[in-house]
Amino acid sequence: MTSGLRQPMSNETETTKRVFSQEILRTIKSIITSDRTGLFALFVMLALALLVPAALPSPAAARPRASSPRSIVDAVRLRGGLGHAAPGPLEGPLIVSAVPTKPFEGQKPGTSGLRKKTKVFQQEHYLENFVQSLFDSLPPEELLGSTIVVSGDGRYHNAHAIHTICQLAAANGVGRVWIGVGGLLSTPAASAVIREREGGVAFGGIILSASHNPGGPDEDFGIKYNVRNGGPAPESVTNAIHERTTTISEYKSCLNLPRVDLSQPARYEFERREAAPFVVEVVDNTEDYLALLKQAFDFPKIAALLRRGDMSLVFDAMSGVAGPYAHAIFVREFGVDTSALLNCVPSETFDGGHPDPNLEYAATLVARMGLTKHGTPSPDEVDAPVFGAAADGDADRNMILGRGCFVTPSDSLAILVAHAHTIPWFQREGGLKSVARSMPTSGAVDRVAEQLGLPLFETPTGWKFFGNLMDAHLLGKEKLSPLICGEESFGTGSSHVREKDGLWAVLAWLSVLAHHNKKTPEGALIGVHEIVREHWQRYGRNYYTRYDYEQVDAADAARMVAHLLEYAKRFQEEGYGPESPQRLTDMMALSVVDEFSYTDPIDGSVASKQGIRFLFDDGSRIVFRLSGTGSVGATIRIYIEKYQRPDDSDALEMEVAVALEPLVELALAISKVREFTGRDRPTVIT
């Protein structure tokens, strides 16, 4: 009998099965030839016979394995995290089943894929419908025999979802699936694997993550598709997927595909009747990504900085997928003691936390860095490290802190652009070519780009909008890479991959610190606050805050948006504009009120309804936007920004809440957010 799983069965396993079966037959014969008193025993033995395949070790489980050093991911023994079940015996080739189904409402991907409550994804056929719709939306001739990446951030339901996707991939003609050890790949690492592994042969990747949202049976799960360039699928693809979900009537799955052992690198082949074998490869989840970072940064220079007696750091992975990468980089490469790493063991529930790196949810790190939850220096004496950083659940977001200093994501982006020359990869590529930011992100980077003579692009929220800019030269346009881009929502990155990248931002900041301290003596180290202050003194300061109202009733949020659009309509009808601003107070005059729309300069596609902007004649802004990253209800985000020129040094050092108080009150009054939502205060202020 030939097994579809091409691995030899061990002699020990074969012998065990033969002896066990012979013992059962002898017992049955004895019962039948003696009397009827043993019928109950016969029943028990027959039941045991049926359980033999499950009770005995599978061929793969019985196979001898070389011992390997204990990995940080070995600590995860979770239903939604690492899969440790070895492949069960597969008798014969994979069988493709056509499973009848019906459409589910609401399977429309948002800013970063489809995100819902975990229980929604656990509904029968729900995940299968979406994945089949994805496969149906791809060119069949390119999908056939292709290699795809399937991994996630380790949240609850991750391992089960990976197995389900493999079953559908095998049935839909995919040739090979790459899965990170433990089913884990950070989102930027998945992009790197798609782009770099075996010269970039992967057709795309399915990433299982709800990013910075909580995980668990009662929390969030997510799925998104990344295309061949390693970036999020463009709207043309996600729209096609959604359209297909509304008409799907069946999906194809190889239901007899056994689970594979995800605990260590391995290769598995499964026979198919009318196609080449289906291959599953479990790959090292840090290898490709780490190799790429080593090309981008000067690791020896960063290591030398971290060896200084006056330098110290702390990194918080927030119990997300960044943990294994933090160990590989900080401990293995730089020699940092593990005591500098917080929450670096991945957890399917993020240890009950909210893996969003901000002042509210990264409270342990914030306090350790000598800060209050408002980002101001703590009144208590704290022996804080020089540098602190955090990443979110899938490691694509970052928060940067200094001793008693919170760096806003918008300032972080601007400072990294101003210091791009300190990063070797940009030097080798002939220097930075362009800069991009999402519309709600502050204008801090605009002033840097202007002084450096770099083109700047203002896009809607969503990393996919940066992808076309990065690949402009491949689409017949002027080359805009290397490029640095960022979002106010703690996302920073560059064209080294096609996703935002939390650890890239951390290493970029360490490169900036190394540059500023290459000649400073021990005990005179220049820290984060000094670098930030120097930046303000040169370019000015953009005071910035964001108010988040989470899980708002969708109808209430829609009424607030309608109210703001009516304000914009009246503003234009009454003739206000840049030449004749609407004066609200002696200090505030509105010059623009509009709904942001974006025409992609590369492919001409249009993204409308991207947020409502209130622009003031002094450079201040208020932006209102509904977020597409939540799983329940609506999230209202209010972005408030005030620009302070660099010629008033005292005004550069104000507390953010004090500097923005008049604009905050105006934003709350204009939007009537309290009246529409019934909320006295936002869920989170960052």
**Cβ-Cβ contacts under 8 Å for 224 (sequence gap 6 or more):** 109, 112, 113, 114, 206, 207, 209, 232, 233
CB 263 within 8 A of CB 148: no
Query: Residue 25 and residue 630: Cα distance in Å, rounded?
Result: 59
With 0-12 CB in 10 A as exposed, 13-18 as middle and 19+ as buried, what is 574?
A: exposed
* Residue 211 annotated as catalytic: yes
CB 421 within 8 A of CB 518: no
Instruction: Please give the sequence-ordered ranges of beta strands (E in DSSP) within 139-190, or none if there are none.
Output: 147-152, 176-180
CB 217 within 8 A of CB 118: yes
- Residue-wise DSSP of 338-360: GGGEES-S--TTGGGS----STT
Other CB atoms within 10 A of residue 312 CB: 18
Query: Residue 357 and residue 351: Cα distance in Å, rounded?
Result: 15
Query: Residue 632 and residue 110: Cα distance in Å, rounded?
Result: 12
3-class secondary structure, 300: helix
**Cβ-Cβ contacts under 8 Å for 17 (sequence gap 6 or more):** 52, 56
Question: Which residue of the set 211, 312, 620, 671 is catalytic?
Answer: 211
Query: Residue 444 and residue 540: Cα distance in Å, rounded?
Result: 8
Query: Residue 281 and residue 179: Cα distance in Å, rounded?
Result: 6
Residue 222 forms beta bridges with which residues? 115
Locate tokens 């450079």: which residue? 619
Task: Give Cα 542 to chain centroid, integer Å.
Answer: 27
For 303-322, give the secondary structure using H, E and C: HHHHHCCCCCEEEECCCCCH
Burial 215-231 (b: 16+ CB within 10 A, else e): bbeebbbbbbbbbbbbb
CB 532 within 8 A of CB 647: no
What are all long-range contacts of 194-200, with beta carbons under 8 Å and residues at least 24 apart?
194/149, 194/226, 194/228, 194/229, 194/230, 195/229, 195/230, 195/497, 195/498, 196/288, 196/291, 196/292, 197/283, 197/288, 198/147, 200/228
Residue 389 forms beta bridges with which residues? 315, 400
Torsion of Cα atoms, 131 then 486 then 375 then 534, to 10°: 160
Helix (H) or strand (E) holding 535, with range, is helix 528-539
Tell me how far apart the terminal alpha carbons of the chain are, to the nearest angstrom. Answer: 63
Helix (H) or strand (E) holding 435, with range, is strand 434-438
Which residue numbers are catalytic? 211
